[in-house]
Structures are given as C-alpha cells and as structure tokens.
C-alpha cells in the first residue's frame, strides 16, 4: 500500500508544505486540508497566468510567516494545482500557524 503524503515534511533547514491551489477565486485564503491529497487547500484570487497565482500563493504564506519573507520558495508545481513550497521555519511553528495537527 502506498504511503499517504504528509502535508508538512520537516527538514533541518525548514519545511516543505504540500498545497492544492485553486486560482481565480473571489479571494485568497487558506481553506483547510485535503486529506486524500495530503495537502493544504488554498484559494487564490489571482489567475493562473504568467505565474500570478504562484506569486500570490507565496505572498499569502509570507503574510503568515513574516520572518521568512523573501525566503519562501515554490519548489514543485509551477504549472499545476498541486504545489510544494519550502518555508525556512520549523515544523512546529508552521503547523501552529496553519492550524494543522500532526499527520504522521
């Protein structure tokens, strides 16, 4: 049986956050979790054109993690709804600010 993906994967340098993005929404916000995909559901007001939604996703996360401003990076899924962000902050802080329980 295939192992379910974790929403947050911790490393020594920070965390990888799996996201399921919905661009072109009325407003940008964190909606909750998608258990089946192992991802945080996020709606984005920006359209999926020329990286606008990707930039808005990074800005949304920078608002939640201001100490990582300018260091949050999209590592996977630039042209996909399924994305992975790297946030250079510890797992406990990331989970706490996003209201996520441990999904081990």
Query: Per residue in 26-62, is it b (16+ CB within 10 Å) or e — as a string?
Result: eebebeebeeebbbbebbbebebeeeebbebbbebbb
Residue 104's pLDDT is 53
Provide CB contacts within 8 A for 91, sequence distance 6+. Answer: 8, 10, 15
Domains parsed from the chain with CATH numbers = 8-98 (3.30.1200.10)
CA distance 5 to 80: 17
How large is the average pLDDT for residues 85-89?
98
> Residue 100: pLDDT band by 50, 70, 90 thresholds?
confident
Residue 1's pLDDT is 46
- Looking at residue 13, the DSSP 8-state letter turns out to be S
Residue 4's pLDDT is 57
pLDDT tens per residue, range 23-55: 999 999 999 999 888 999 999 999 999 999 999
């Amino acid at each position: 049986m295939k192992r379910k993906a974790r929403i947050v994967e911790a490393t020594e340098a920070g965390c990888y956050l799996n996201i399921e993005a919905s661009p072109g929404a009325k407003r940008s916000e964190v909606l909750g979790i998608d258990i089946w995909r192992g991802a945080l559901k996020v709606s984005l007001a920006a359209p999926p054109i020329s990286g606008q939604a990707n930039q808005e996703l990074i800005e949304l996360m920078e608002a939640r993690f201001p100490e990582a401003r300018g260091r949050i990076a999209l590592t996977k899924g630039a042209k996909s709804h399924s994305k992975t962000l790297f946030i250079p902050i510890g797992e406990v802080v990331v989970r706490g600010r996003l209201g996520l329980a441990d999904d081990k």
